[in-house]
Amino acid sequence: MFETECEQAPALPMIGGPYQKFFKKIVTGGVLLLCTTLLALLWSGMAPEHYQHFWHTPLSISVGSLSISKSLLHWIDELLMAIFFFTVGLEIKREIMIGELSSFRKAVLPVAAAVGGMLLPAVIFYIFNYNTETAAGWGIPMATDIAFALAVLSLVKNRVPYGVRIFLSALAIADDMGAVLVIAIFYTKSIAWEYFIIAAACLVLLAIANRLWIRHTLVYAVLGAGVWFSFMAAGIHATVAGVVVAMFIPARGRYDTDCFLRVVNKALSRFNCRMGDCGRTILLEQSHLNAVQNIENACAKTITPLQRLEHFLGGWVSLLILPLFALANAGMHIDLNTIYSTLSTPLSLGIIFGLTLGKPLGIFIFTFVTAKLLKTPLAQGMNWGHILGIGMLGGIGFTMSIFITGLSYSNLDFQEMAKAGILTATALSSIFGLVVLMVLSKKRNKMVR
């Protein structure tokens, strides 16, 4: 049985690169995000009081005399979303170090697109809501939901150039950087400096741990929790702590590739039996067992803490945290008799036009101007029609937009109007983006023929 399985197994199973695994995980999470959103709308529509009561159920954590009591909704928005922002921070750090944001030439167009895709929607929203109670929500249409956008793009992924996916991912990650800055700077009302100093001390310890080559995840988890609690107590939204802590996670292992190969080759040299005749020597030969354990130890020392955490948390974020956030936050009571009046408010219209019009125009114009000024070409196979299609998919704000809605308004009516605008804009942006990319793919196929 063992020999048969071994003979049938490929010598080197193909494991997708970081981007392929990232794309597949995000797409799966995006589909689940859509399902939980529909479930939240169904639940809140059929039993609005039960929906609100359930998510506002208090949950307390007590250790001795210390006790923290918050609603389920607050735990999701302040703790679980901090973990989400931590993974966003890991992705940002990876992209800056080795990815699509690692050099000026690679980063200039996605960053320019992200800047345009944030500024123009904010301006459009502010025009609609100038000098009103809802003006504080200008940050809502600035965000792009990478999970939803890539999930929609996956419907035509085989019909568009590979560069489209890369560009959209880099744009969304740059957009996330901007969103975090907006939350930290503009949605922090006041700072309790004594707790901010504690947070700063924890960050210094994180930096020291990194410099001392400490690679134990527990050390970073404890100090990261200290930063999270201190940020929350200081009045800075706790999710910002997630991105800040991620910047201090080591991106190098104890072994580099050359060292790893030396250790592995030395361990393999201990197997002095001929290929096919070794059998089950792991049970018989202590030296063979030691060699395998040395290889396992070398693997653990070569994989960086950043990669290990990103791999471990990625699935939890895509398949649990974001769907749970959508289930808890996307619900709204839809009354067909008042839906028109809700969507015709300045708040809803500012979000709808900001996302469906401001996003694609901002992304396209800033990318076009930057490319012409700096003479930077688009990725191979891409054209300006693809940039327009990417811009439309960038109008899918969803998760981040709903999150910023909660920071912008305590008024439940304003939150309902904003959610109605976000969901409408998400649907329209998805349809418009798909139509443009499908039309371009058909033209491309005709030219190939």
In sequence order, what DSSP letters do the residues of 95-148 get, joined into one string? Answer: HHHHSTTSSHHHHHHHHHHHHHHHHHHHHHHHHHHTTSTTGGGGGGGG---HHH
* DSSP code at position 132: S
268 domain residue, yes or no: yes
Q: Is 322 found in the same domain as 296?
A: no
Give the per-residue pLDDT at 275. 66
How does pLDDT run across 284-308, given as a tens digit for each residue? 778 888 888 988 998 888 888 898 8
Would you say the pTM of this structure is higher than 0.85?
Answer: no
The single-letter code of the amino acid at 163 is G
- Check residue 139 and give left, alpha or beta (phi > 0: left; psi -120 to 50: alpha): alpha
CB distance 137 to 404 below 8 Å: yes
Residue 160 CB neighbour total at 10 angstroms: 21
**Whether residue 330 sits in one domain with residue 286:** no
Distance CA(215)–CA(201), nearest Å, equals: 19
∠ CA 336-341-343, nearest 5°, is 90
Same domain for 260 and 117? no
Same domain, 336 and 366: yes
Report yes or no on 262 lying in a domain. yes
Residue with tokens 């009571």: 333
pLDDT on residue 375: 92
Residue 204 within any structural domain of the chain: no
- Average pLDDT over all residues of the chain: 85
Nearest-angstrom CA–CA distance, 311 and 115: 29
Residue 163 lies inside a defined structural domain of this protein: yes
Largest CA distance in the chain: 82
Same domain, 340 and 289: no
Residue 338 in 3-state DSSP? coil
Tell me the CA distances in angstroms from 131 to 139, 163, 292, 418, one per residue in order: 16, 42, 69, 17
Lowest mean pLDDT among 130-144, 173-187, 365-379: 173-187
Structural domain of 276: 256-300
For the cut 90, the answer to whether the pLDDT of residue 444 exceeds it is no
Residue 272: CB partners within 8 Å, gap ≥ 6?
none
Query: Could you tell me the CA-to-CA distances from 208 to 100, 196, 214 in Å, in that order?
Result: 28, 18, 9
Is residue 300 within 8 Å of 320, Cβ to Cβ? Answer: no
Residues 136, 262 within the same domain: no
User: Are both 365 and 281 inside the same structural domain?
Assistant: no
195 part of a folded domain: no
Which token pair is 69? 């009591």
Does residue 395 contact residue 356 with C-beta atoms inside 8 Å?
yes
**Range in 13-17, 188-192, 305-309 the model is least confident about:** 13-17
| DSSP β-ladder status, 66-71 and 58-63 | antiparallel
List, for residues 218-240, the tens digit of each pLDDT value: 899 999 999 998 998 888 887 78
Kindly state whether residues 293 and 341 are assigned to the same domain.
no
Given the structure tokens 């991620």, which residue do they identify? 246
pLDDT tens readout for residues 118-159: 999 999 999 999 999 999 999 999 989 887 888 888 887 677
pLDDT digits (tens, 9 = 90+) for 39-63: 998 998 889 889 989 999 998 877 7
Q: Do residue 431 and residue 379 come from a single domain?
A: yes
- Final residue belonging to a domain, choices 244, 268, 300: 300
Q: What element of type H or E holds 322? A: helix 322-329
Which contiguous run of DSSP H or E holds residue 44?
A: helix 18-46
Give the model's confidence band at 29: pLDDT under 50 very low, under 70 low, under 90 confident, else very high.
low
Does the residue 77 lie in any domain? no
* Residue 90 domain-assigned (yes or no): no
Residue 15: φ, ψ to 5°: -110, 125
CATH code where residue 335 lies: 1.20.1530.10
- State how far the alpha carbon of 243 is from the alpha carbons of 111, 226, 385, 394, in Å: 18, 14, 33, 21
- What distance lies between CA 137 and its chain's CA centroid? 21
Q: Answer yes or no: do 397 and 440 share one domain.
A: yes
Same domain, 292 and 388: no
Whether residue 273 sits in one domain with residue 319 = no
**Whether residue 449 has pLDDT greater than 80:** no
Domain end (from 246, 276, 300): 300
Per-residue DSSP letter, 253: -
Give dist(CA 280, CA 55) in Å, integer: 55
Q: Tell whether 229 is covered by a domain.
A: no
What is the reported pLDDT for 26?
58
C-alpha 10 chain-centroid distance: 33
Q: Do residues 398 and 145 lie in contact, with contact meaning Cβ atoms separated by under 8 Å?
A: yes
Q: Number of folded domains in the chain?
A: 2
Cα separations in angstroms, 201 against 82, 85, 86, 211, 238: 19, 21, 19, 15, 16
Name which of 19-28, 296-305, 437-446 the model is least confident about. 19-28
Q: Which residue has the higher pLDDT, 324 or 63?
A: 324
User: In b/e form, how buried is each residue of 187-226, taking b as 16+ CB within 10 angstroms?
Assistant: beeeeeeebbebbeebbebbeebbeeeebeeebbeebbeb
